[in-house]
Structure 1
Amino acid sequence: MRTKTLTSPRTVTTLEKLYTPAEEARKKPRSPARRQDIAAMSPAERADAPADAYMPISPEGGRLLYALTRAARPTTVVEFGTSYGLSTIHLAAAVADRCCT
């Protein structure tokens, strides 16, 4: 399987730039609301607790997402971003490379 788009210098550079702030955000201490016992929270509090959390996909997870998307060969992909756009780049690369296999 050729990964032309995912391994292109432009994509690699962009992913490296995005993974840096994603890793920094992951290391930040959690807010007090997120440290609370989830069982003690109301349903509304549980729903709001991750509002300030970013959930970026890991590099390994991104490569897996790319491979799975390539294998599925979709013509349309919908992604609901919650973070830095990392999964979007992996999905877009997979769709772009789908035509080349």
Structure 2
Amino acid sequence: AVELLAHPGFVERFRPRVVSTTLALAWVAAGKRAAYVTDGGDLSGSVHFAAGIALCRAAGCVVTGIDGSPIGQAGRGLVVAADGETHQLLLSMIRGGNRHRT
């Protein structure tokens, strides 16, 4: 996910910011941000992520690991997007690195 920050299309379209995880996920759930992306291990049980993940799911957001798989013990990282199109675009950027252009 760190490579994503260097992706020109990501920076141009999403204007990333570093904020509180809980607040950032709440903003996605409320429609104030398009997405939230982070790397790491299983984040679903973390006190820093669990409430935000539940809120996003209740709001109908797309919630997966950084590779697009379900989050949980076998997964890693987190990609939460307000809609399927944004989620697919982010996964494409993550998989393609800097080669993908928007």
TM-score in same-fold range (> 0.5): no
Q: TM-score, normalised by structure 1?
A: 0.28
| Structure with bigger RCO (C-alpha 8 Å, 6+ apart) | 1
**Larger Rg over CA atoms:** 1
